[in-house]
Amino acid sequence: MTGTQRGDEALKKYDDSIRQDNLIGQWSFEPLLDAAVGGPTPRGDAHVWPWKTTRARLAEASDVLGPAGVGRCNLTFLNPGITQGPPGSTHTLAAGIQIMRAREVCWSHRHTMSALRFVIEGNPEAFTVVDGEPLTMDRFDLLITPRFSWHDHHNPTDEEVVWLDVLDLGLTLSLNQAFYEPFGEASQPQRPCAAESQGLRAKALRPAWERPRLGRLPIRYAWADVTGILDSYGDTAGNPYDGLALRYANPVTGGPTMTTMDCWVQQFVPGFEGLRHRRTSSSVGFVISGRGRVEVGDEVLEITPGDTFAIPNYAWHRLINDSDDVLRVFSVHDIPAITAMGLFYEEPVPTVGAHPAPPVPGLPHHPVHRTDAMLEPEEVR
């Protein structure tokens, strides 16, 4: 036996002995540190869940569960590369599709997981109640359910309603911060009049006598409004990495959609070939219209309308629209959570919130005062 072997054997024996006292030597973490050189290994796989398959499976689930499955007829998209820890589509986000049958009410409850609903098959008469406020569930509307908000879903029509669910499940469970509470009845009380609406208070005109509420707002982003704004941008708007990417901003603070998740709508013109990039955040995308492909590392994901796909954290990726039609994608990112920990990082260049808004046109070339005089910090180039 060599001296090295004797030393290794002695160290192993020592490691085993200190475990009895619930201790571990820092040298045991060296493999973890070595693996982190160059950044984290992406957690999970790049994966696509085809709409044709998932919609058919959802219909089967509805038949199998029957009336007993009210409120729980939901299929979660499981990432095949995540075999340990909380189940989900990425290591922090759990996406899935849920169906609400005709004349059905999905009972009221709340939880500390932040959640959102992007309506795929909607109806202007269907609605979700969030903390007493009804929010219409029309096609491609986005409804947010902030952490620990009471919510229930209602479908008074004769048609099915289907939506994409996304929750920060992996993040919340990993931090052991899950709370859950059923309301006790199918429906919660609704606010008696529009004047009490928190959603109304998120608009431009607000009560001067009240302290503004900055978070946990029951907000609906109507698709009709979104398309109007998308159409206002030219074909060249955006950047070569994300295309035209518009954030669903908190209407009061201007910040991310929710404290842990940010939602985007992205538009890619025909012929768009995105540049490869990566972020320490992960994301889930849903194809609203058009087709294309997502290249993640060596994987190529073909995407068509209704498909949902996952991009792991810190994975090199790009999106390509090689069709003749505009490609639109709804995407959810865990950027706010990663940013709050000071861990958000992009390569090869910063793109998220990295540039000032366009300057005021027609300013004099030789102003009397400094060019940055009286400007807000975010306006200074």
Q: Is this model's pTM higher than 0.75 or not?
A: yes
Task: Give the residue with greater pLDDT, 325 vs 357.
Answer: 325
The answer to which of 155-169, 203-217, 290-304, 338-352 has the lowest mean pLDDT is 203-217
What secondary structure does DSSP assign to 77-118, as a single string? ---TT--SSS-SSSSS-EEEEEEE-TTEEEEEEEESS-EEEE
pLDDT at 3 exceeding the cut of 60: no
Could you tell me which residues come within 8 angstroms of residue 287 by beta carbon, excluding any fewer than 6 positions away? Answer: 51, 303, 304, 305, 306, 307, 308, 309, 327, 328, 329
Q: Which of 162, 261, 177 is nearest to 219 (CA)?
A: 261
**Domains of the chain and any CATH numbers:** 47-347 (2.60.120.10)
Q: Report residue 215 as tokens.
A: 């978070």
Residue 369's pLDDT is 65
User: According to the model, what pLDDT value does residue 6 have?
Assistant: 60
What pLDDT was estimated at residue 70? 78
d(CA 216, CA 144): 9
199 pLDDT band, cuts 50/70/90, is confident
**pLDDT tier at 51 (50, 70, 90 boundaries)?**
very high
Q: Looking at the predicted structure, is the pLDDT value of residue 5 above 90?
A: no
Q: What is the pLDDT of residues 289-347, one digit of tens each?
A: 999 999 999 999 999 999 999 999 999 999 999 999 999 999 999 999 999 999 999 99
Sign of torsion, CA 230 234 236 239? negative
Supply the pLDDT for residue 219. Answer: 94
More confident residue, 374 or 67: 67
Task: Tell me how far apart the alpha carbons of residues 200 and 206 are, in angstroms, rounded to a whole number.
Answer: 8
Percentage of the chain with pLDDT > 70?
94
| Confidence at residue 91, expressed as pLDDT on a 0 to 100 scale | 98
Mean pLDDT of the chain: 93
Read off the pLDDT of each residue in 70-80 and give the average, rounded to a whole number: 92
> How many Å is the Cα radius of gyration of the chain?
24
What average pLDDT does the segment 281-292 reach? 99
176 exposed, middle or buried (CB, 10 Å; 0-12, 13-18, 19+)?
A: exposed
Among residues 119, 107, 193, the alpha carbon closest in space to that of 150 is found at 107
239 has a pLDDT exceeding 80: yes
Instruction: Tell the residue number behind the tokens 């030789």, with chain if given.
Output: 366
Confidence grade of residue 381 (pLDDT, cut at 50, 70, 90): low
Structure tokens at 232: 């206002």
Q: Is the pLDDT at 364 greater than 70, yes or no?
A: no
Instruction: Collect all residues with Cβ–Cβ distance below 8 Å to 188 and sequence separation of at least 6.
Output: 108, 129, 131, 132, 150, 152
**Per-residue pLDDT averaged across 81-99, rounded?**
97
Cβ 271 vs Cβ 290: under 8 Å: no
pLDDT band at 188 (very low <50, low <70, confident <90, very high): very high
Say yes or no to pLDDT of 201 above 90.
no
pLDDT band at 88 (very low <50, low <70, confident <90, very high): very high
Reported confidence tier of residue 183, pLDDT bands at 50, 70, 90: very high
